[in-house]
Amino acid sequence: MSLSSAVFVAGLLGAASFGMGMLPLSVTFSKSTLASLTTYGTGLLLGAALGVVIPEGVLGIIEANAPRTAIALSLLSGFAFMLVVERQFSSHSPTFGGVSGQASLPAESSSLEFDAELGELERTEGIASDTRSRPYLYSGSENIELRQRAYPLTLGLAVHALVDGIAMGSAALSASGTDENSGPSRLFIAVFLALVVHKAPTALALTTSLLSMSLPVAECKRHLAIFSSTTPIATLLSYAVLSFFGGSGGAWQGTALLFSGGTFLYVATVLQPALAHPHDDGVDGGRRKLLILLAGIATPYLITALLPEGSDH
């Protein structure tokens, strides 16, 4: 994929993320719809990691005749990086309770899991399930303390968005390289779809959380812009760095893909346990959730299987 194509697609992803985050300012979403979108996004991350990103990364390492230990090291590094980042932001996030009649939150539920499902993020931030995107009215020190919580939340999301950009930049260089006449590879299409669907509920949850903290609309937009722009910027930076160190294929790209695969696995299996509470949905709801998750897992493989072989060359 050429640099101009990478710039266009990165900008498209950022615009889509910002647009989705703007919707809570004017539209109310049902929790079931957002839960289904989040579950499907979790499946996409798993399918993209296990069925596309990791195999491509392994292939890159093998073709470059790099040490086989680089495969495990890259995967473990990506997983461990997300673990450290999530724990770091959780341990430094301020607790808050007893505001305007709301019950105090236990310490374990006040941590910032910046890619949790929307319902979990609402409980984390003390947002009632019937908020409907309307901000609470706080005053004095309560308002100041709530606004202070917006910064670690946005920063945590931005850090993970940066890692998403590494995956995008690595996929943009896959197989087709920097050839001006080449289109996007099957790997890139699968990763792009996974990130678009994955980031949509996250952007919605971010805006909903910021509104609940009584932040002005202009400030909410500023936080959302920071989050939305991080992935495109990281995509272009990783594209440039990987191009400098060898372009398409090779150990560098394989390592970056495997690192990204490790981060995808952490997000999908630790931060977004889509089936962690099946008893909350009943038998039918649990089955529906399972089917949505399986559909998400299968989608990246179907994309790579149905697209012509030429899209990888």
Q: What is the pLDDT of residues 134-166, one digit of tens each?
A: 444 444 455 566 566 778 788 888 888 888 898
Least confident range of 131-140, 167-176, 186-195, 235-244: 131-140
pLDDT for the residue 215:
82
User: Cα–Cα distances in Å, from 74 out to 44, 190, 221, 246, 264?
Assistant: 21, 20, 35, 18, 13
Q: Which residues contact 8 (CB under 8 A, 6 or more apart)?
A: none
User: In which element (H, E) is residue 8 found?
Assistant: helix 3-22
The answer to whether the CB of 232 falls within 8 A of the CB of 14 is: yes
Vertex 164: Cα angle to 225 and 174 (nearest 5): 125
Longest dimension (CA), the chain: 62
Give the orientation angle of helix 69-92 with respect to helix 54-63, to 10 degrees: 140
Mean of the pLDDT values across residues 244-256?
75
Q: Which residues contact 277 (CB under 8 A, 6 or more apart)?
A: none
Considering only residues 46 and 250, tell me which one the structure prediction assigns the higher pLDDT.
46
Considering only residues 59 and 149, tell me which one the structure prediction assigns the higher pLDDT.
59
What total of structural domains would you count in the chain?
Answer: 1
User: In which element (H, E) is residue 260 found?
Assistant: helix 250-266
User: Cα–Cα distances in Å, from 171 out to 2, 6, 73, 221?
Assistant: 12, 10, 19, 29
Mean of the pLDDT values across residues 26-47?
82
Token look-up 């995808």 returns: 264
The answer to whether the CB of 175 falls within 8 A of the CB of 187 is: yes
Q: Which domain holds residue 14?
A: 3-312
Least confident range of 96-110, 112-126, 140-154, 221-235: 96-110
Token look-up 């993020």 returns: 121
Of the candidates 153, 164, 158, 152, the one whose C-alpha atom is nearest the C-alpha of residue 263 is 164
Q: Residue 180 pLDDT more than 60? A: no
Considering only residues 54 and 106, tell me which one the structure prediction assigns the higher pLDDT.
54
Q: Residue 95 pLDDT more than 70? A: no
User: Cα–Cα distances in Å, from 268 out to 9, 105, 152, 192?
Assistant: 24, 25, 21, 16
What is the phi/psi pair of residue 96, to 5°? Answer: -155, 130
**pLDDT level of residue 111 (50, 70, 90 thresholds):** very low
User: Cα–Cα distances in Å, from 110 out to 89, 121, 126, 176?
Assistant: 11, 9, 8, 45
Letter for the amino acid at 224?
A: L
pLDDT > 90: percent of the chain: 18
Q: Residue 72 pLDDT more than 90? A: yes
Least confident range of 138-147, 199-208, 302-311: 138-147
Mean of the pLDDT values across residues 101-121?
39
Considering only residues 86 and 113, tell me which one the structure prediction assigns the higher pLDDT.
86
